[in-house]
Amino acid sequence: MTNAATAPLSRAAYLRSVAAAMGGGIIKAFNANKTSWVGLGGFLIVVLLAVLAPVIAPYDPLDQNILFRLKPPSAEHWLGTDFYGRDTLSRILWGARISLTIGLLAIGSAMVIGTLIGMVAGYFGGRTDIIVMQVMDVLLAFPSLILGLIVVAMMGPSVANLVIAIALTAVPPFARIARAPTIAVKNREFIEAGRALGYSDLRLMFGHILPNIAPEILVMGSLWLATAIRVEASLAFIGLGVSPPTATWGGMIREGFENILDSFWLALFPSLAILIVVFALNLLGDGLRDAIDPRLRGEE
Amino acid sequence: MTAFVLKRLGFAVITLFAVLTIVFFIVRVLPGDPAMAILGDQASQGALNALRARLGLDQPLYVQYFQFLGGVLVGDWGVSMVSGRPVIQEILKVLPATLELTFVSLVLGAAVGIPLGVWSAVRRNKLPDYITRIASLLGLSFPAFVSAVLLLLVFAIQLRWFPVISSGQGTTLSDRLRDLALPAINLGLIMAAYITRVSRSAMLEVLNQDYVRTAHAKGLAFATIIWRHCLRNALIPVVTVVGLYLGILIGNSVLTEIVFNRPGLGKLIIGALNQRDYTMLQGMMVIYTLIVVLVNLITDLTYGLIDPRIKYS
């Protein structure tokens, strides 16, 4: 930003080359471990179903029909109905929207805040690094579900509070992940060169270090999205999810659990939904991590 | 060694102090009035004020903070706002049940996870490796309550091999084992998934080392090389991960205790949350943090036992 006359052109060209390299790198990373494609496919299908829920859900997820209570799967209700006669399939489709919204918002914000904290700690080093990382370690000492549980219980179970609670537990791991490669990259020649040219710390951090550490952070993001969806479902199961009658997967399992002796499908289908999306994200993140981890390179 | 232990202890104390501070303020600053939670929203202002005074909630925040810190130090964790009994007693009453479950799950996880991880690494990129990798990834995709519900559905409700509700109060060994079996299998399998993965990658790194090639060259038995030479060196990351995942295990034990209706810290914390029992919540957080900090300390000290080359400098 210090060199206003020449920066825009060279910067645009630079960013184009970074984007091209990253684009090629991403395809290569996916091809290195084919299960990543399976994971990505599975996840995108779930996202598509969630987005299209208002169009494809056969019934209104909140419509009660007392005459059709606790019906097993049938032609009218593919996945059966719950205690209030609501259609399980429609509730699972709508529930996906809640899980994905909370997961994406929580991990998106944790990724931005955690990466910033980690980069600042790693880039400036010294006392800043020690203090910041000590705070992160203290937060890491908390069992994340317990921390989430307390925050949501105290603040009330709304989408915003769930996002805050889950993001809070995910910030320290991102800070850790961003810090290590920042330290490794900051001493490389191209950063030295940038510094010699008088680039500001901000420009070096965001223009030059961030693109280099982005792949690792994005991979962590997909793995943590899986964790966030699991934690959201767990909180809903405990009774700390988005309030009923809104459909959430964890809440559906909780209701199904109360009727487990005679209507096991109520707990079974939302369980499978969570399992599918979390497994798909884990396949995606795990495959990509193998591809970008230099220690594992050449393994496939 | 002494300096190392002291340094680690110092760090543990700082962490504990920081967490206590965070816990105190989280519990106090967030909205929700404990007096109203106990007496209900129909209670008169006079009754509410009297209860606040009795609980010390009318004192300035900093006074409450120092009273809390002092109390924790001398083992006085306050009395439960709901039951009126000392918090530490309530916690100690159920702690053994949770520790028993966590410990058995950990042992089960290691007993299944380490051999599977080694097998997978030795058969790298062959069918057993693929199956193990997919199975372990699936294992860690299960939210603990989902796997608990599925286990309950199959083994307790359909097959009737185990009780649907484990009392956790069984007196004979076989009763206790029957109560413990499903919850421990649930947590143990999730733990096994984590341990399998880290054992596999740690073994893969070790298998390519020169000394392993030398061991092969001098004609050592394959099993001796794998179990005595490789595994011992691969164990450090495994121990680290086991220590790190204790937090996950504790979180999962809460869910498992709820599904299996087993007494323990999990049920206690849910009760405390529902009734806004602030002193109990504080005590629970203190005990959870104590456990995590203690396990991290033990994890660090275990390295030396596994690898005598580590000098704790």
B235-263 confidence digits (pLDDT tens): 877 887 787 777 778 878 888 988 888 88
pLDDT at A2: 44
Number of Cβ within 10 Å of residue B93's Cβ equals: 12
Q: Which of A287-291, B6-10, B191-195, B276-280 has maximum average pLDDT?
A: B191-195
Spell out the domains of chain A, with CATH numbers in brackets: 24-292 (1.10.3720.10)
Rounded to an integer, what distance in angstroms lies between the CA atom of residue A17 and that of residue B120?
A: 40
> Which of chain A's residues have a Cβ under 8 Å away from the Cβ of B141?
226, 230, 275, 278-279, 282
Cis peptide before A61 (omega within 30 of 0): no
What pLDDT, in 10s, does the model give residues B82-92?
788 898 999 99
A133 within 8 A of B240, measured Cβ to Cβ: no
What pLDDT, in 10s, does the model give residues A253-262?
988 888 888 8
Phi-psi region of A20 (alpha: psi -120 to 50; beta: other; left: phi over 0): alpha
Measure the N-to-C terminal CA separation of chain A; round to a whole number of Å: 43
Is pLDDT above 70 for A276? yes
- Indicate the residue type of A163: V
Q: Which residue among A146, A151, A295 places its CB closest to the CB of B205?
A: A295
Rounded to an integer, what distance in angstroms lies between the CA atom of residue A108 and that of residue A232?
A: 15
The CA distances from residue A273 to A45, A157, A269, B78, B145, in Å, are 12, 22, 6, 43, 14
> Which of chain A's residues have a Cβ under 8 Å away from the Cβ of B203?
none
Q: Which residue among A138, A240, A256 places its CB closest to the CB of B19?
A: A138
CA distance A7 to chain B (A): 44
Is the ipTM reported for this complex over the cut 0.85? no
Rounded to an integer, what distance in angstroms lies between the CA atom of residue A291 and that of residue A269?
A: 33
> Residue B245 gets which letter from DSSP?
T
CA distance B142 to chain A (A): 6
> Which of chain B's residues have a Cβ under 8 Å away from the Cβ of A156?
31
- Give the position of tokens 């097998």: B119
* Residue A18 burial by Cβ neighbours in a 10 Å radius (0-12, 13-18, 19+): middle
B296 within 8 A of B90, measured Cβ to Cβ: no
Is pLDDT above 80 for A17? no
pLDDT at B12: 79
> Are residues A279 and B292, on separate chains, in Cβ contact within 8 Å?
no
Closest residue in B to A272 (Cα) is: B146
Is pLDDT above 60 for B15? yes
Nearest to A45 by CA among A228, A282, A273: A273
B151 within 8 A of B186, measured Cβ to Cβ: yes
> Which of chain A's residues have a Cβ under 8 Å away from the Cβ of B201?
296
Nearest to B290 by CA among B25, B23, B82: B23
CB pairs under 8 A between A and B: 128
Q: Which residue among B125, B281, B289 places its CB closest to the CB of A141?
A: B289
Give kind and range of the element (H or E) at residue A139.
helix A126-141
Give kind and range of the element (H or E) at residue B118.
helix B87-122
